[in-house]
C-alpha cells in the first residue's frame, strides 16, 4: 500500500505571506478594527482599493450533515443563545450582548452576503436539523489574483461541540474560498489558549505563521488543501 504524506512545512508558497512581528501600533489598529467591525463599522469603500472582477455572493452549501447559508432574522433566539455561552465568547472580540444587542448584531450579519473589495466578508450560519448551531465567516483580505488571501473563522455552540461539525463547516468554507473565490492562501487567527480551535486548523492543513500575545496566525495554501482533499477522496471508498 502506498501512503502519501501531507505537507507539514510552509513549502507551497506560504512563505510569501510570512509576516514580520507586528508593532504595538499595528496590533492596536487590528484590535480597533475588530472592535468596530463587531459593531458594524467598516472602512468606506472608497478607501478599500481594488475590486474583484465581479462580486461573489454568499453560497448555500450542503455537507454530509450540515447546511451553511446566510443568516436570517428568525435565527435570533439561537444566535442569542450562542452568544450567551461563556465558552464561546471567551476567545472572541465579541462583547457580552443583551437580547436586543444580539438581534442588532444578527441583523448586521444578515447584510454580509457579498465579497467584492478588501474587508468585505460573508457570514454564514451553520445549521443542523433546521437549527443554527454555529457560524463561519470568510473575510477578503487581499484582492490580487496572484496572492489573493481570505481569513476564515468559525464558532460552534458547546452543546454541538466534539462531533466534528466545526471541522466539517470550515472544510466546506475552504473549498469555497479556493475554488469559487480563487484564493491562493487562507488564514485563520485565534487565541493561542484556544487549543481546540488551533488543533482544528492544523487538522485542515494550516501551519503557524506567527504567535504574538493573544494572537496566533495560521495559514493554508490552495495546493495543500487540494492535496489533502484528494487524499480524503481516495481513502473514502475503503472506509467501513
Q: What is the CATH number of the domain that holds 135?
A: 3.40.630.30
Per DSSP, the three-state class of 151 is: strand
Residue 6 located in a structural domain: no
User: CA-CA distance, 137 to 83, in Å (whole number)?
Assistant: 15
30, part of any domain: yes
Burial of residue 133 (CB within 10 Å: 0-12, 13-18, 19+) is buried
Q: Is residue 95 part of a domain?
A: yes
Parallel/antiparallel/unpaired status of strands 185-190 and 149-156 = parallel
| 5 lies in some domain | no
For residues 199 and 206, what is the distance between their CA atoms, to the nearest angstrom? Answer: 9
Domain that holds residue 102: 23-238
CB 150 within 8 A of CB 134: no
- Total of domains in the chain: 1
Q: Which residues of the chain have pLDDT under 70?
A: 1-49, 236-240
pLDDT tens digits for range 144-186: 988 999 999 999 999 999 999 999 999 999 999 999 999 999 9
Place of cell 499595528: 26
Query: Is 1 a domain residue?
Result: no
3-class secondary structure, 14: helix
Decide if 75 is inside a domain.
Answer: yes
Beta bridge partners of 162: none
Predicted structure pTM score = 0.80
Within-domain flag for 15: no
Q: What is the pLDDT of residues 100-116, one digit of tens each?
A: 999 999 999 999 999 99
Amino acid at each position: 500500500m502506498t501512503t502519501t504524506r501531507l505537507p507539514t512545512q510552509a513549502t507551497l508558497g506560504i512563505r510569501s505571506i510570512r509576516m514580520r512581528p507586528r508593532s504595538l501600533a499595528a496590533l492596536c489598529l487590528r484590535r480597533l478594527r475588530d472592535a468596530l467591525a463587531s459593531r458594524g463599522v467598516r472602512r468606506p469603500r472608497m478607501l478599500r482599493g481594488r475590486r474583484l472582477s465581479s462580486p461573489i455572493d454568499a453560497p448555500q452549501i450542503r455537507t454530509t450533515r450540515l447546511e451553511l447559508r446566510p443568516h436570517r432574522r428568525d435565527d435570533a433566539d439561537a444566535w442569542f443563545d450562542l452568544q450567551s455561552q461563556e465558552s464561546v465568547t471567551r476567545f472572541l472580540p465579541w462583547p457580552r450582548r443583551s437580547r436586543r444587542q444580539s438581534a442588532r448584531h444578527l441583523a448586521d450579519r444578515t447584510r454580509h452576503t457579498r465579497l467584492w473589495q478588501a474587508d468585505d466578508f460573508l457570514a454564514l450560519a451553520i445549521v443542523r436539523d433546521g437549527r443554527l448551531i454555529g457560524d463561519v465567516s470568510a473575510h477578503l483580505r487581499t484582492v490580487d489574483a496572484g496572492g489573493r488571501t481570505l481569513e476564515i473563522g468559525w464558532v460552534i455552540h458547546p452543546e454541538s461541540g466534539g462531533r466534528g461539525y466545526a471541522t466539517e463547516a470550515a472544510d466546506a468554507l475552504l473549498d469555497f474560498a479556493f475554488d469559487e473565490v480563487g484564493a491562493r492562501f487562507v488564514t485563520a487567527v485565534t487565541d493561542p489558549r484556544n487549543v481546540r480551535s488551533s488543533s482544528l486548523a492544523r487538522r485542515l492543513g494550516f501551519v503557524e505563521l506567527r504567535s504574538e500575545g493573544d494572537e496566533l496566525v495560521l495559514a493554508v495554501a490552495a495546493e495543500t488543501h487540494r492535496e489533502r482533499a484528494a487524499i480524503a477522496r481516495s481513502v473514502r471508498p475503503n472506509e467501513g
